[in-house]
Structure 1
């Protein structure tokens, strides 16, 4: 009988102890969640939305590579984005602290006004000239009297505007362009770096030469030293990951 009573007391004690432990755990989780949320600061992002597929509006929602990329960055540095649509040249909004950063097609090589600072490039927009090994072309100047496949009505066309007697052929997709090059239907193909990141280049048949160096950056105020440091650190780590590669495939892989 005494053993029975003692057993019941122990059971009651253990049950109470378990309840206290569970209650303490719940309180701890609530505290941690609240602390994490309270640490998350708001970042006012001035976003230029006329630059697909990097940033654009669809069904009243802002989408694009920039949005996906920035969301990942901000989670790392514990910020929550507040997107504000802007014109490309909204540098005064940045200087007046109406926004904290500008994003949406801002090149790293560009004449910016005073009081502006830039992050490291988060996207490589360099252009490469691809030609056959048996007929190498290693510069824009050597395209005279040649055929070139390139995206028309883009900066690529601006890059070759002074080349004499150049026959420009419209770029359709990477696969068709490389077949045309291999078959001798064109002398060269001008492509963006992102395509070379996605699709393989047979270096036994073709050579590539960088003919234009450019990248996209995030624009900040000159005095945003800490924020710029946080972005640079996150960008340098993120662009090496599979997660970044998946973003590239999501937004730039050709159908």
Structure 2
């Protein structure tokens, strides 16, 4: 449990984040009361949400009575609260089959892996090497997220994906957390035009080359699903490249 939060606050925060990831809109106390067995009244949930807002874990959009999680809450959820949903064995085998024929050519391998990763995560997938090469896939997935109904945000995201220098900075020049899987938010990166963006990254080494793999989408990415998939693809690239 995070220092300063009670067990009840942690339980409410977890439920609110999971509801937000699923519904893509601010979450109110009534919705949490109806859907989750929190064992307290809507009024108590509401009071705890006010406290969590004062502590910086939740935010209240101007146009809504509901709350959305702040980046610090999402990081807390990812690090300590979420339950990962692993890929099925059948899906792992299928992914390996999709990239196996490209094992002798790293460029082709990363192109195929990026396509397969985008298909499974239903978001944008990116691969890059520290030599400056970049692969993207899944652009059309952006339009599945309500956050990207704002064309200005879409334009900012697509512009970012086309800027090789920014991607190199993101993957190879920025000081990471030291974790095998890193989660970042546009807000943290100091790029205001990318505030609604969530990014999950990992690094690999294949055929003597340092590379990175990432999934990019809204802040409310389905982290319990995406993190295990990204981890699998990192290991898959390294394994297939050795074959």
Q: TM (normalized to structure 2)?
A: 0.27
Q: TM (normalized to structure 1)?
A: 0.26
Query: Which protein is bigger by CA-based radius of gyration?
Result: 1
Greater RCO structure (CA 8 Å; 6+ sep): 1
**Larger strand proportion, structure 1 or 2?**
1
